Amino acid sequence: MIAVKEPQITDYKALSSLQLEELLCVELDHDDPAVALAILEELELREAAPVSCDRAWEEFCTHYLPMEAPLYGDAPPARKPVRPFSRRFAAAAAAACLACVLAVQAGGADLLRSMIRWTGTALIVESPSATESSLLPEAVDQDAAALAAASSPTPGVGEDAFVTVEPTVTECASLGDAFALIGLEHVPTAIPAGYTFASAAVEELLTTRMLHAIYTGPEEALLQINIHRYEEGSVFSSVIPKDDAEVESLSLRGQTFYFLTNGIYEGVVWTPDPLTECHISGPVTRDALKTLVRSMYD
């Protein structure tokens, strides 16, 4: 084992590349990046065949960077710029805007809460801040958000020690218990005929709480209820696959529910607040799903 001292270029030059790589492995558990950087600079000088950065950057842009257009299908229709109305038409314009917000639109959006929009192949739920920056087409979920929170150094502190991220999972005896645990009212009670409660659990990570509930039905069909609740300031974007059938909306007690189809599966999506997304799906009928959501307010 080579003792790690203050970075001195002459020391590293005297070591072989293999020894320097061993040092890097040792450095993995240390908080100071200065030593690792000094070693890496020496190794970089010795590198006979540098890695192609152009190819790597191109791949990063393709597979990791957020995309300007939606990940699936055609881009939603661009929102037309708001034209100023004279006072004479102000009341009519306000009423028309409110009607547009609540009505079903092709590629429309729930403008009052989180952004819900859809294309021919996906329904996308985004936090309000995500709609401004369109960070990622996929949800910044436990993998990315927790990894980012745990992995990046705390500002002002410098290089933090590694933080272990493990979800806290609580199994619940009923859907009602799971809703209570995640802090939501209005539990759906009219479960489609033939389906029985199988499991419900709430997982908590650094910035997200998730509810997963399953009901099993005929021929092992699954009705799944998934809810994500994010912390204030979180940026998220979820993509739910769908087919090209029209998205239907239903307003109940001020809450809009969006019904979509994906082959034999019917689904419903809603956002009770800007940081919560809810999704129920299964091989059931649209009417059965509507009865289910209506039962939330019975």
Which residues of this chain interact with another protein, rule CB under 8 A?
A: 20-21, 24-25, 27-28, 31, 33-34, 36-37, 40-41, 43-44, 47, 50-51, 53, 56-57, 59-60, 63-66, 71, 133, 135-145, 147-148, 150-153, 155, 158-160, 162-163, 165, 198-199, 212, 214, 235, 239
Question: Cα(36)–Cα(164) distance, rounded to whole angstroms?
Answer: 22
Closest C-alpha among 10, 46, 3 to residue 27: 3
Closest CB to another protein among residues 25, 99 = 25
Closest contact distance (angstroms) between CB of 28 and another protein is 5
Nearer to another protein, 25 or 82 (CB): 25
- Measure Cα distances from 96 to 45, 85, 101, 117, 197 in Å: 65, 12, 9, 20, 44
- Which residue carries 């009505």 as its tokens? 103
CB of 298 to another protein, least distance (A): 29
Alpha-carbon distance of 222 to 226, in angstroms, equals 12
How many angstroms separate the CA atoms of 148 and 238, rounded?
A: 17
Name the minimum Å distance from CB 136 to another protein: 6
Q: Are 118 and 242 in contact (CB under 8 A)?
A: yes
Measured from the CB of residue 133, what is the shortest distance to another protein in angstroms? 7
Residue carrying structure tokens 């100023």: 84
Task: Name the minimum Å distance from CB 158 to another protein.
Answer: 8
Min separation Cβ 103 and another protein, Å = 31
Nearest CA to 224 among 256, 266, 194, 173? Answer: 266
- Residue placing its CB nearer to another protein in the complex, 144 or 187: 144
Tell me if 216 sits within 8 A of 196, measured CB to CB. yes
Choose among 35, 42, 38, 51: nearest CA to 18.
Answer: 42
Cβ–Cβ under 8 Å, residues 103 and 256: no
Q: Which is nearer to another protein, 94 or 148 (CB)?
A: 148
- Burial string for 14-24 (b: 16+ CB within 10 Å, else e) reads eeeeeebeebe
Give the residue with the Cβ less far from another protein, 10 or 62. Answer: 62
- Structure tokens of 236? 């998220």
> Given the complex with another protein, which of 27 and 256 has the nearer CB atom?
27
Question: Given the structure tokens 């649209």, which residue do they identify?
Answer: 286
- Give min distance, CB of 198 to another protein, in A: 6
Smallest separation (angstroms) from another protein to the CB of 181: 18
Structural tokens at position 57: 């950057």
Q: Rank residues 152 and 251 by Cβ distance to another protein and give the closer one.
A: 152
Looking at beta carbons only, is 202 or 293 nearer to another protein?
Answer: 202
